[in-house]
Chain A
Amino acid sequence: MADDQTELLKTALHDLHVELGGKMVPFAGYDMPVQFPLGVKGEHLHTRAKAGLFDVSHMGQVRLTGEHRVAELEKLVPGDIAILKPGRTRYSAFTNDDGTILDDLMITNAGDSLFLVINAACKDDDIVHMRANLGDGVSLEEIDDRALMALQGPEAANVLARFAPAVTELKFMSFAELDIAGIACFVTRSGYTGEDGYEISVPNDRAEELARKLLGEDEVEAIGLGARDSLRLEAGLCLYGNDIDTTTTPVEGDLNWIINKRRRAEGGFKGADVILDQLEHGADRKRVGIKPEGKAPAREHTPILNTDGEEIGEITSGGFGPTVDAPIAMGYVAIEFAAPGTKVDLMVRGKARPAEVVELPFAPHRYFRG
Chain B
Amino acid sequence: MAKKFSQEHEWIELEDGIATIGITDYAQQSLGDIVYVELPEIGKKLTKDGDAAVVESVKAASDVYAPLDGEVVEINEDLDVNPALVNEAPETDGWFFRMSLTDESQLDELMDEAAYKDFVEGL
Query: Contact residues of A with B, CB < 8 Å?
Result: 34-35, 39-42, 44, 226-227, 229-230, 295-297, 299, 319-320, 322, 327, 349
| Selected A-B contacts with CB under 8 Å, 12 pairs | A35-B32, A39-B32, A41-B35, A42-B33, A229-B59, A295-B35, A295-B36, A295-B80, A319-B59, A320-B57, A322-B33, A327-B36
Query: How far in angstroms is the closest Cβ of chain A from B90?
Result: 15
Residues of chain B in range 24-83 having any CB-CB distance to chain A below 8 Å: 32-33, 35-36, 38, 54, 56-61, 80, 83
Total A-B residue contacts, Cβ distance less than 8 Å: 48
- Asked whether, in the complex, the Cβ of B58 is within 8 Å of the Cβ of A319, the reply is yes
> Chain B residue with minimal CB distance to A321?
B58
Residue of B32, B36, B38, B59 with highest tally of chain A CB at under 10 A: B59
Query: Contact residues of B with A, CB < 8 Å?
Result: 32-33, 35-36, 38, 54, 56-61, 80, 83
A residues near B57, Cβ cutoff 8 Å:
40, 320
Cα-based distance from A320 to B57 in the complex (angstroms): 8
The 9 A-B pairs of least Cβ separation, nearest first, read A41-B33, A320-B35, A40-B58, A320-B58, A226-B59, A295-B36, A39-B32, A297-B56, A230-B58
Cα-based distance from A35 to B57 in the complex (angstroms): 13
A residues near B80, Cβ cutoff 8 Å:
295
Query: How far in angstroms is the closest Cβ of chain A from B63?
Result: 10
> Chain B residue with minimal CB distance to A34?
B59
Cα-based distance from A320 to B36 in the complex (angstroms): 9
Query: How far in angstroms is the closest Cβ of chain A from B61?
Result: 6
- Asked whether, in the complex, the Cβ of A297 is within 8 Å of the Cβ of B32, the reply is no
- A40-B33, A41-B32 as given contacts; A320 in contact with B56, CB under 8 Å: yes
- Asked whether, in the complex, the Cβ of A41 is within 8 Å of the Cβ of B58, the reply is yes
A residues near B61, Cβ cutoff 8 Å:
297, 299
- A44-B58, A319-B58, A320-B58 as given contacts; A296 in contact with B33, CB under 8 Å: no
B residues near A44, Cβ cutoff 8 Å:
58
A residues near B59, Cβ cutoff 8 Å:
34, 40, 226, 229-230, 319
> Chain A residue with minimal CB distance to B38?
A296
Partner of A296, one of B32, B36, B58: B36
A residues near B56, Cβ cutoff 8 Å:
296-297, 320
> Chain B residue with minimal CB distance to A227?
B58
Query: How far in angstroms is the closest Cβ of chain A from B43?
Result: 17
A residues near B38, Cβ cutoff 8 Å:
296, 349
> Chain B residue with minimal CB distance to A294?
B36
- Beyond A230-B59, A322-B33, 8 additional contacts (C-beta under 8 Å) are A40-B33, A41-B58, A44-B58, A229-B59, A295-B35, A296-B36, A296-B56, A322-B58
A residues near B54, Cβ cutoff 8 Å:
349
Query: How far in angstroms is the closest Cβ of chain B from A318?
Result: 10
Query: How far in angstroms is the closest Cβ of chain A from B30?
Result: 9
B residues near A349, Cβ cutoff 8 Å:
38, 54
Query: How far in angstroms is the closest Cβ of chain B from A294?
Result: 9
Cα-based distance from A40 to B56 in the complex (angstroms): 13
A residues near B32, Cβ cutoff 8 Å:
35, 39-41, 226
Cα-based distance from A124 to B120 in the complex (angstroms): 40
Query: How far in angstroms is the closest Cβ of chain B from A250?
Result: 28
B residues near A34, Cβ cutoff 8 Å:
59
Cα-based distance from A40 to B54 in the complex (angstroms): 19
> Chain B residue with minimal CB distance to A320?
B35
> Chain A residue with minimal CB distance to B84?
A41
A residues near B58, Cβ cutoff 8 Å:
40-41, 44, 226-227, 230, 319-320, 322
